[in-house]
Structure 1
Amino acid sequence: MTISPISAPPAGVAPRPGSATVEFRSLRRAFGSTVALDGLDLTVHPGELLALLGPSGCGKTTALRILAGFETHDSGDVLVDGEDVTRIPAHKRDAGMVFQSYSLFPHLSALDNVSFGLKMRRVGKESRRRKAMELLELVGLPQRAEHYPHQMSGGQQQRIALARALALQPRVLLLDEPLSALDAKVRLNLREEIRRLQQDLGITTLFVTHDQEEALSMADRVAVLRAGRLEQCATPSELYARPATAFVAEFVGTMSRIPATRSGDGVEVLGRRHAVDGTVPATGEIEVLVRPENVGLVPSAGGPAVVVGASFLGAVTRLTVKLPDATLVKVDLPTEQAARLPIGGGAQLTLPDRPVLVDVRAGSGQ
């Protein structure tokens, strides 16, 4: 089955010749009574790095493995440049994959690991050595060409795995939580390197992660999954500033929930009426979701709120404020301003004059 590719890549994305459009259409996969994917519809544009983000069990790795050919799906379509790849075996799908566990051959040197796929395709010895050395240069490890995996750090091994995945010049690069086994500093450096390489090469890339910081810092767009369904797919800035659902709002970044009451087609919260971004739930007690940087806070002798905690974050300090009903609210303020709000001191909270996101309070009967 061949279907025409759809739409152009997002602004700023520069695909290389040969990079692919990937589409999941109404994709469903169940393992017994557990539904891993429940009608996933998603398009990855040529040259785009799209992160699949969500909690464990949301279906993100299943989607990646189905695209790679390591899993089958129960229904729906997987298309690469409009072609249904369902019946194409994994080794012929022209996709490079990097795993969390590196998966290098322990008995082969870095050079031989990188050139292994080229050898399987019967590329001549000199040609594959030259190509492998070019890729080792690309990932910054030419000096490790003759080293074996046990002689390299985790970050170096993952760079070798990345070079190996790129050796066959795949149309699609698949990254399955490749940084989760590394320590924090190495993880930060390597995610910057992966992003730089991906942009330089212009290769269509799917990156699976449960780490929101990785997704937001690396991806052109982020697809947030929950229980096998797509909650929202958007640029990192849009996802953070305008989450489509309460789940996305709380999964991406920090959110506080503040009790509210209905007021016509809006809500009343902290003594003021606000318009709502979306619709107000018809039943159940409701709460407004707000990010720490969007809450105003000034000293106020005698309350009504009380500062009960402070976390120094450098230029910003995150205060925890308790409302009269015992609700805790996170507030980010410049550290100099936060110093004027001591622990135990009274304070007054305000929200910005713009539409707010509303959700039903947990346990309120819905």
Structure 2
Amino acid sequence: MPAALARPASTSTGRTPPPSGARLELRSLRRAFAGSVALDGLDLTAEPGELLALLGPSGCGKTTALRMVAGFDRPDSGEILVDGADITAVPAHRRDTGMVFQSYSLFPNLSARDNVAFGLRVRKVPAARRAARAAELLDLVGLPDHGGRYPHQLSGGQQQRVALARALALQPRVLLLDEPLSALDAKVRDSLREEIRRLQLSLGITTVFVTHDQEEALSMADRVAVLNSGRLEQCAAPAELYARPATPFVASFVGTMNRLPGRLADDATVEVAGHRLPTDGERPADGDVWALVRPENLTVAADPEGEATVVAASFLGAVTRVHLALPDGAEAKADLPSREAAGLTAGARARLGLAGHPVLVVPRSAS
């Protein structure tokens, strides 16, 4: 059997163990286009079998990094290694990677079965084995009866499943996903991201997933790398990234974050809305700061003498988001259990409370 189709031996339980994923390393990658720096010394590692999400705003360099791993672009400097082997100069067709594009990129004149088997045909795998592999993968992605259909006969979600099966056909050591769900409606997107994660875990394949959608990154990935202007701000597990952001950019970009006016004290605390909170990270020299506080770390109670005014309350099911106006023109959002927010209507005065968690602070002059 050709190496591309080699299957691991079954265990005594009858199940096929997932292959061990490859280790992907990006070392000091730099890339500039017409004087604009897309990547500025990116160092990043995806561990074997890990799903690593690249998250950041448009133009941060995440897609450039993915294209370099795929071999569609070359860095100006730096290295790309897979299990210690330098593949920086290896052509795309000789890299053991599979890529799923945002636009699916299926061949319109080929059936779903033939789209999946296309890479095998290029590698001159015998027809019987191509057909068996394509059938196996279509079954794996939940489309066992759709092999004879053409792309125009498939929904967006089904097309993306076929594209995923095609990327897996050659059993790549690294799977690359370039915003594969962004063109789908919300319900299909939620279903397919769960399916992608299930497949990735069952196959044990190292996967790099590019997205600008925080919810996708936090719900699917083992770790999330947040990029900003070509630089890595932080790479951490989703829970750590949310609860302990390393930089003000990560704090503001991931999830919702309040900027509350505060004043630094000499004892490594900051005074915010009458409360003293410990500070985390670098402390600016200026005493007037913004304290970065998550909505769930605020409490709100109706109080005619309170310093805050309720602007609106948005019912979100179990949680209600209360929008508040604070003195000096500041605003805040608090996420409360809906049963506790029943009396907080627009125009009501309220008292603001803060949980005692450490907070990041940035100079008041920062945008």
- Check if 1:324 corresponds to 2:316: no
- The Cα shift of 1:351 comes to 1.1
Structure 1 distance, partners of 2:312, 2:173, is 50
Q: Write the distance in 2 (CA, Å) between the matches of 1:259 and 1:221.
A: 32
What RMSD, in angstroms, separates the aligned Cα atoms of the two structures?
Answer: 1.2
Distance 2:336 2:191 in 1: 29
Match of 2:139 in 1: 137
Deviation of the 1:18 alpha carbon: 4.7
Question: Aligned residue for 1:162?
Answer: 164
Structure 2 counterpart of 1:4: none
1:345 aligned residue: 348
Give the TM-score, by structure 2 length. 0.93
The alpha-carbon deviation at position 343 of structure 1 amounts to 1.4
**What pairs up with 1:96-111 in 2 under 5 angstroms?**
96-111=98-113
User: What is the Cα deviation at residue 304 of structure 1?
Assistant: 1.2
Matched, 1:298 2:301: yes
Q: Does the CA-based 8 Å contact 2:263-2:287 persist in structure 1?
A: no
- Hey, what's the Cα distance between the residues in 1 that align with 2:159 and 2:275? 56
Q: Secondary structure at the match of 1:325?
A: helix
Consecutive unaligned residues of structure 1, counting only runs of 5 or more, are: 1-14
Partner secondary structure for residue 328 of structure 2: coil
Q: Does 2:283 align with 1:280?
A: yes
Which structure 2 residues correspond to residues 121-270 of structure 1 after superposition, within 5 A? 121-264=123-266, 265-270=268-273
Query: 2:17 matched to 1:23?
Result: no
Using the size of structure 1 for normalisation, the TM-score is 0.94
Q: 2:58 is paired with a residue of what secondary structure?
A: coil
CA 1:98/1:357 → structure 2, altered by over 3 Å: closer, same or farther? same
Could you tell me which residue of structure 2 aligns to residue 3 of structure 1?
none
In the TM superposition, what is the alpha-carbon distance from 1:331 to its structure 2 partner? 0.4
Percent of aligned pairs with the same amino acid: 67
Alignment partners' CA distance in 1, 2:47 and 2:276: 42
Q: For 1:194 and 1:361, how far apart are their aligned partners in 2?
A: 42
Helix, strand or coil: the match of 1:319?
Answer: strand
Which residue of structure 2 aligns with residue 8 of structure 1?
Answer: none
CA distance in structure 2 between the partners assigned to 1:207 and 1:363 by the alignment: 31
Q: Please give the residue correspondences for 1:3-82 in structure 2 after superposition, counting only pairs within 5 Å.
A: 16-82=18-84
Q: How many residues align?
A: 350
Structure 1 letter corresponding to 2:40: D
Q: Which moved more, 1:264-273 or 1:191-200?
A: 264-273
Q: Secondary structure of the equivalent of 2:304?
A: coil
Per the TM alignment, residue 285 of structure 1 is displaced from its structure 2 partner at its CA by 3.4
**Distance in 1 (alpha carbons) for counterparts of 2:60 and 2:365:** 21
SS in 2 for 1:275: strand
Instruction: Give the AA of the match of 1:63.
Output: A
Secondary structure of 2:216's counterpart equals helix
1:313 aligns with 2:316: yes
Please give the alpha-carbon distance, in whole angstroms, between the structure 1 residues aligned to 2:286 and 2:326. Answer: 24
Equivalent residues of 2:20, 2:49 under 8 A apart: no
After superposition, what is the alpha-carbon deviation per residue over 1:30-66, rounded to whole angstroms, capped at 9, x for unaligned?
0011100001010000000000000000000000000
> Residues 21 and 204 of structure 2 are in contact (CA less than 8 Å); yes or no, is this contact kept in structure 1?
yes
SS in 1 for 2:160: helix
Contact 1:98 1:165 in 2 (8 A): yes
Q: What residue identity is the alignment partner of 1:113? A: N
Is the 1:16–1:47 Cα contact (8 Å) retained in structure 2?
no
In the alignment, is residue 289 of structure 1 matched against residue 289 of structure 2? Answer: no
Letter paired with 1:148: Y
The 8 Å contact of residues 96 and 174 in structure 1, kept in 2 or not, is answered as yes
Aligned equivalents of 2:305 and 2:270: distance in 1? 26
Q: Which amino acid aligns with 1:360?
A: P
Distance in 2 (alpha carbons) for counterparts of 1:97 and 1:348? 52
User: Shift of residue 361 of structure 1?
Assistant: 2.5
Change (3 A) 1:138 1:241: same
SS in 2 for 1:143: coil
Does structure 2 retain, via aligned residues, the 8 Å contact 1:256–1:289? yes
Q: Is the 8 A contact 1:304 1:347 kept in 2?
A: yes
For 1:131 and 1:241, the matched residues in 2 are separated by 43
- Give, in angstroms, the shift of residue 362 of structure 1: 4.1
Give the SS at the match of 1:310: strand
AA aligned opposite 2:89: R
Task: Note the C-alpha offset of 1:272.
Answer: 2.2
Q: Name the aligned partner's letter for residue 313 of structure 1.
A: L
